A and B are shown apart, each in its own frame.
Chain A
Amino acid sequence: MPRPVTEAARTRTGNYVIAAAAGVALLGAAGCSSGGTGAGSAAEPATTAPAAQGQQPQASGGASGYADGTYSADGQYQSPGGTETIGITMTLQSGTVTDVQAQTRPSNPNTRRFQGEFASGIAGQVVGKKLDELNVSKVAGSSLTSGGFKDAVEKIKAEASR
């Protein structure tokens, strides 16, 4: 589902490294599609038709001849498992592509895995950093489980080691 223009446009301000990297990875992958995406090159974004997705570009115009807005289209490519579809959403501002998003529509589990790698960007093996090297206020995880559950696990460990 295409995301709103306002949200997509935010991805190029500040240090939104994640979204920016996703766009780069996507364009490389879309180049091997069997046609129809219009997203093979960042230089020709306007061949993408917005109407089918039901989201109208915002008509603010620009010197480029392309209306500013968010454009979406589907493209197909051949995978070993058959034809697969990938959805591309692009944001144009003053003739420049400011954001690219992809939505995968995989039809088999293997494709789901491989599509994920270029649709969203796979960061390779995540090594991590020591928490105490980071200047963070909060940790999102589930290690803070307290009470009965932890106690019960400890009890089981104790019994198991007897």
Chain B
Amino acid sequence: MAALAHEFAFDAIGTRWSIATGQPLDAPARAAVAACIEDYSLLWSRFREDSLVARLAGQPGSHRLPAHAAGLAEVYAALHRATGGQVSPLVGSSLERLGYDAGYSLTPAGDPLPAPAWDNVDGVLAWNGPELATAAPLLLDVGAAGKGQLVDLVAGVLRARGFARCLVDAGGDMLVDAGGPVEVALEHPYDATRAIGSLVVEGQAICASAANRRAWGEGLHHVLDARTGVPVDSVAATWAVAESTLVADGVATGLFFASPARLAAESCLAGFSCVRMFSDGRAEYWGTLKGELFV
């Protein structure tokens, strides 16, 4: 990290960002990063009225999205397959029902609401590559992997501007291309002052997902089973290391529902390694990891 002495920190899309680079980010580079994040949230944010997601919630339509949407669609399709439909971009209305809505009401508005089924051939949502078409008003939510993809896109902006090395950290989901190993603690899901282990990451992304974060009540948190609309309770936290932040983020979510082996059977996800902690306090690790768990 010594080589990345300059930090640019800010809040965006509901989390704290920290970008470390070898040279300070100049004003045009900062503006380019901000524009990248703004463009992405204009597509996918569930929390602003002028986003595509907000428009689709009111009015069905067909849209050709930027090219990166194809990568997100591919990861979502793999997660959807591997989890038997428990991970779905159609989970937005289920989250809203439980109170995780644009106004942060955080008050359940009724019984859990299963998400509509996702079937590209004969369903309310067809999302193939960058083409996305809906046949009814739908509330999409790409929270399973969207933030990870945005980290990749921001890193791409930096590289295009000549910042060869960088560490892009969006609230603990990060891409580490620091030119040397970075040791990352795995935050204890039940105690933010503790770590359950640490991993050494280099030229990779690491993402975490925890059921007790973004939690707003007894048994109410943001990781829902799309088939039932009910929050998951058997897995407490997950961490995934992968080549891209998009995949690491998606796998970290998928691990709440599917085994590492099942996720790795999807070619666009394969190659990750992971740790997950169950709600009874056991931890499981899988793949090639450098680091240790504290038991």
Contacts and interface: CB of A to CB of B under 8 A. Distances in A.
Given A123-B285, A123-B295, A149 B174 contact: no
A120 B285 contact: yes
21 contacts: A10-B288, A16-B289, A18-B285, A103-B261, A104-B259, A123-B285, A124-B283, A125-B295, A126-B196, A126-B197, A128-B191, A130-B193, A131-B195, A138-B182, A138-B183, A140-B173, A140-B199, A140-B207, A143-B213, A144-B172, A146-B15
Contacts of A140: 172-174, 184-187, 199, 206-208, 239
B86 interface: no
Question: Which label, helix, strand, loop or mixed, suits the secondary structure of the A interface?
Answer: mixed
Interface of B: 1, 11, 14-16, 47, 104, 106-107, 167, 169, 171-174, 176, 182-189, 191-199, 206-210, 213-214, 216-217, 237, 239, 259-261, 264-265, 267, 270-271, 277, 281-295
Interface string A90-130: 00000000000101111000001001110111111111111
A131 B47 contact: no
Contacts of B294: 126-129
Question: Which label, helix, strand, loop or mixed, suits the secondary structure of the B interface?
Answer: strand
A119 B284 CA distance: 9
Contacts of B265: 1
Contacts of A1: 264-265, 267, 270
Contacts of B172: 138-144
Given A145-B213, A152-B104, A121 B189 contact: no
A60 to B, nearest CB: 21
B14 A149 contact: yes
